[in-house]
């Protein structure tokens, strides 16, 4: 009897091999079928600081639409209007704490934490417009200061900025608007941020309110004059129903832009391509919001004049001059109180000195061309 070496395996027959293979394959199919399962999308809840009728709400939805379409089902932002979870002025804290995943707001709404916040959109007038000041945020060092402030305040936020807003009007008055510095005194006036410091310096009694609370406050006599932002937003919440005088132009908020914020931990957990989509959607919607503003603001200003009987005027040069002088006092006081405020504003002014200078030298005289083409004399 011969002995087979234990180092040599016995070869199975072809019949047995095929049978085992089929059985194995059949068993695998029965226990673990190869079915493609679609990856569940990452869902983020975003709340705006705007009422359902406000054009700013539509602008926020424009951002959400772009992100959702470009993300191809992998990321979905669900948008909520003001008050759905928290009040408008509470959006920043809610996002930082993770109560909300994201928010659509403005930095001035958390200026109560630090007056430096107002410099990221609605600070003292420098001569640079909103588009140029947004350039400071993106290319002139402003964003690094913004990040530094968030860290100092312990705000767990990643922010993006969009839509350089046109100058905000001096606002709405029940009677003819003030034409001199002396006439500004005594008004019970609504505004927000550093504009509150400015208007208080000019003798106004200031109340800071979100947009949805303005008309009720006017009706109750809590305020007797106010500004919010633009002809479209103002008319949609019924400004023309409680006041018939609208003064256009002001230095109190000569520039501002949206702040689109995400909880930093949740943002950091996203894949790189989804982070890029958020960034580039912000840049794209900045242009889209600008075009929407041009169309709607201009149409609604004409509607206020022709249909609603609002008396629209240009803010007087005397009021502009008074505002500049008041800004000097407010800025000097804030710079003395906070070295960081002084440092950030110095950076913004350095940018404005160069960028606005170029613009003033290079821009065509559009006003003269407009008056020639349309045979009309614009108010001074």
- Reported as a single tens digit per residue, the pLDDT across 88-100 is 999 999 999 999 9
Q: What is the mean pLDDT of residues 162-169?
A: 97
The pLDDT value recorded for residue 380 is 80
- Reported as a single tens digit per residue, the pLDDT across 201-227 is 999 999 999 988 999 999 999 999 999
Residue 36: pLDDT above 60? no
The pLDDT value recorded for residue 265 is 98
Q: What is the mean pLDDT of residues 258-283?
A: 98
Q: What is the mean pLDDT of residues 54-77?
A: 98
Domain 42-167+255-295 homologous superfamily, CATH? Bacterial extracellular solute-binding protein, family 7 (3.40.190.170)
Report field, pTM of the whole predicted structure over 0.95: no
Burial class of residue 108, CB neighbours in 10 A (0-12, 13-18, 19+): buried
**CB-based contact 341:272 (threshold 8 Å):** no
Residue 12: pLDDT above 90? no
Q: Kindly give, in sequence order, each residue whose CB lies less than 8 Å from that of residue 10, ignoring residues fewer than 6 positions away.
A: 4
- Reported as a single tens digit per residue, the pLDDT across 132-154 is 999 999 999 999 999 999 999 99
Whole-number Å distance between alpha carbons of 99 and 85? 8
Dihedral of CA atoms 22, 24, 29, 35 in degrees, nearest 10, equals -110
Which tokens hold the place of 215?
Answer: 């008309």
Sheet holding 311-314, edge to edge: 205-207, 188-190, 225-226, 171-173, 245-248, 311-314
Residue 15: pLDDT above 90? no
Dihedral of CA atoms 237, 379, 317, 313 in degrees, nearest 10, equals -30
How many CB atoms neighbour CB 210 within 10 A? 19
The pLDDT value recorded for residue 232 is 98
Residue 23: pLDDT above 90? no
Residue 191: pLDDT above 70? yes
The pLDDT value recorded for residue 17 is 37
pLDDT averaged over every residue in the chain: 91
The pLDDT value recorded for residue 38 is 56
Residue 4: pLDDT above 70? no
What b-and-e string marks burial along 49-66, b requiring 16 or more CB atoms within 10 Å of the CB?
A: bbbebbbbbebbbbbbeb
Confidence of residue 39 (pLDDT cuts 50, 70, 90): confident
Residue 248: pLDDT above 90? yes
Whole-number Å distance between alpha carbons of 340 and 337? 9
Residue 312: pLDDT above 80? yes
**CB-based contact 340:150 (threshold 8 Å):** no
Whole-number Å distance between alpha carbons of 29 and 174? 78
Per domain, the residue ranges of the chain are 42-167+255-295
Orientation of helix 317-337 relative to helix 194-201, angle to 10°: 120
- Reported as a single tens digit per residue, the pLDDT across 102-116 is 999 999 999 999 999
Q: What is the mean pLDDT of residues 153-161?
A: 98
């Amino acid at each position: 009897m011969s002995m087979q070496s234990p180092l040599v395996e016995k070869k199975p027959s072809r019949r047995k091999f095929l049978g085992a293979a089929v059985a194995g394959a059949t068993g695998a199919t029965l226990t673990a079928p190869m079915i493609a399962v679609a990856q569940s999308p990452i869902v983020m809840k975003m709340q705006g600081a705007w009422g359902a009728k406000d054009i700013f709400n539509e602008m926020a939805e424009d951002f959400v639409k772009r992100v959702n379409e470009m993300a191809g089902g992998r990321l979905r932002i669900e948008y909520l209007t003001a008050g759905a979870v928290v009040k408008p002025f509470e959006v920043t804290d809610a996002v930082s704490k993770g109560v909300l995943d994201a928010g659509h707001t403005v930095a001035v709404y958390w200026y109560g934490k630090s007056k430096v916040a107002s410099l990221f959109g609605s600070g003292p007038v420098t001569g640079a417009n909103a588009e140029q000041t947004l350039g400071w945020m993106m290319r002139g060092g402003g964003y690094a200061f913004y990040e530094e402030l968030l860290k100092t305040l312990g705000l767990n936020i990643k922010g993006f900025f969009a839509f350089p807003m046109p100058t905000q009007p001096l606002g709405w008055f029940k009677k003819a608007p003030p034409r001199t510095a002396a006439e500004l005194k005594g008004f019970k006036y609504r505004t927000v941020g550093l504009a509150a410091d400015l208007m208080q310096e000019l003798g106004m009694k200031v109340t800071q309110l979100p947009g949805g609370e303005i008309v009720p406050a006017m009706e109750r006599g809590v305020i007797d004059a106010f500004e919010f932002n633009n002809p479209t937003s103002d008319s949609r919440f019924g400004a023309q129903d409680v006041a018939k005088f609208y003064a256009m132009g002001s230095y109190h908020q000569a520039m501002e832009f949206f702040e689109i914020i995400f909880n930093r931990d949740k943002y950091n957990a996203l894949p790189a391509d989804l982070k890029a989509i958020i960034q580039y959607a912000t840049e794209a919607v900045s242009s889209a919001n600008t075009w929407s503003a041009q169309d709607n603001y201009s149409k609604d200003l004409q509607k206020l004049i022709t249909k609603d009987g609002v008396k629209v005027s240009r803010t007087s040069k005397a009021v502009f001059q008074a505002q500049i002088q008041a800004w000097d006092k407010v800025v000097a006081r804030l710079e003395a109180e906070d070295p960081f405020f002084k440092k950030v504003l110095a950076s913004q002014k350095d940018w404005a000195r160069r960028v606005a200078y170029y613009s003033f030298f290079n821009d065509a005289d559009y006003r003269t061309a407009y008056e020639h083409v349309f045979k009309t004399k614009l108010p001074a």
